[in-house]
Amino acid sequence: MRISAAAIALLLTSTAAIAADLAPAPVEPVAPVVVPFSWTGFYAGANVGYAFGGRDTVGIHDPAFLGDLGKLTAKGFLGGLQAGYNYQFDNIVVGIETDFQGAQIKDTVHGVVAGEPGRARSDIKWYGTLRPRIGYAYDRFLIYATGGLAYGNIDYKLSYNGASFSDSNTKVGWTAGAGLEYAFTDNLSGRVEYQYVNFGSYTVRGAGTLHSKASPDFHAVRLGVNYKF
C-alpha cells in the first residue's frame, strides 16, 4: 500500500508538470491600429448665410455723366447646396467645389441728380459659383482659401426724371474667400466660410441716351454641413 501511494503521488506530480509544460504562453495585447483621417473624396452638403456690405454706386448718364443717385448697399439672407471633391497629400488638400444659392440680397436708394428725383433698386435672386480650393489639414481641421467664377441673376430697376428702365439678366463675375472646416465623424463635417462676390460693371439703358452703370457686389458669411462619401 505504501508503494501504491508513492506511485500514485509520483504519477500526479508528473501529470501536473506535463500539464504545466503544455499550458499556452500568455499573449501580449495588440494595440489597435489608428488610421489617420483623410479629406480625400467626394462630398455634398447644404448651407445658410447672410450677405452684406454691397457698394453699388448708381450713376446717371444722359449721355454725359450727370451725377450719382446714391449707393446700393445690398444685404439679405441666402441658402443653398454645394458639392465637390477633395484630394489630400500629406497635410495639403486641393479640390474643386460648386454651389448654388437662392437669395434675397437687395437694397433701394432714393436721390436727386441735376435737380431731378430718382430711385434705384437691385435684387440678387440667386447666384452660384465654381471654385478651386486649396487648404492645410491638421487631422480633422481644415483651413482653406478659395476663388473662381461667380454667376447670378440680378434684377435692376431705375426711375429718373419720369423715365423708368430695368435689366434682369444673368451676370458673370468672380468670387474669393476662405473657410474653416471640421470633420465630426469620418463622413460628417461642418464649416464656416467667408465669400466676396463681384459681378463686375455693366450698363443699364433707358430711353434715348439715358443710362446707368451698375456694379453689384456683396460679402457673405455662410455656415454649412457636408457629407463625405
C-alpha dihedral, 224 to 106 to 126 to 79, nearest 10°: 20
Q: What is the pLDDT of residue 1?
A: 44
Q: Are 192 and 142 in contact (CB under 8 A)?
A: no
- CA 181 to CA 125: how far, in whole Å? 27
Judged on CB neighbours under 10 Å (0-12, 13-18, 19+), 68 is: middle
* CATH of 42-228 given 2.30.30, 1.10.3470, 2.20.25, 2.40.160: 2.40.160
pLDDT value at 162 more than 60 = yes
Query: Global pTM?
Result: 0.82
Residue 31 CA from chain centroid, whole number: 38
3-state secondary structure 161-197: CCEEEEEEEEEEEEEEEEEEEEECCCCEEEEEEEEEE
Give Cβ neighbours of residue 129 (< 8 Å, ≥ 6 apart): 97, 98, 99, 148, 149, 150, 151, 175, 195, 197
At residue 119, the pLDDT reads: 94
Q: Which of 49, 151, 140 is nearest to 93 (CA)?
A: 140
CA distance 197 to 219: 6
The number of beta carbons lying within 10 Å of the beta carbon of residue 97 is: 20
Please state, rounded to an integer, the average pLDDT across all residues of the chain: 89
Task: Note the pLDDT tens digit of each residue in 45-103.
Answer: 999 999 999 889 999 999 999 999 999 999 999 999 999 999 999 999 999 999 999 99
| CA 201 from centroid of its chain's CA atoms | 25
Q: Counting runs of H as helices and runs of E as strands, what totals does the chain give?
A: 1, 12
**For 185-212, how does the pLDDT look when each residue is reduced to its tens digit (9 = 90+)?**
999 999 999 999 999 988 999 888 999 9
Task: Return the percent helix, strand and coil in the chain, to nearest 5.
Answer: 10, 70, 20
Confidence of residue 23 (pLDDT cuts 50, 70, 90): low
pLDDT for 7 beyond 80: no
The band of 218, judged by pLDDT with boundaries at 50, 70 and 90, is very high
The H-assigned helical ranges of the chain are: 2-22
Q: What DSSP element (H or E) covers 40?
A: none
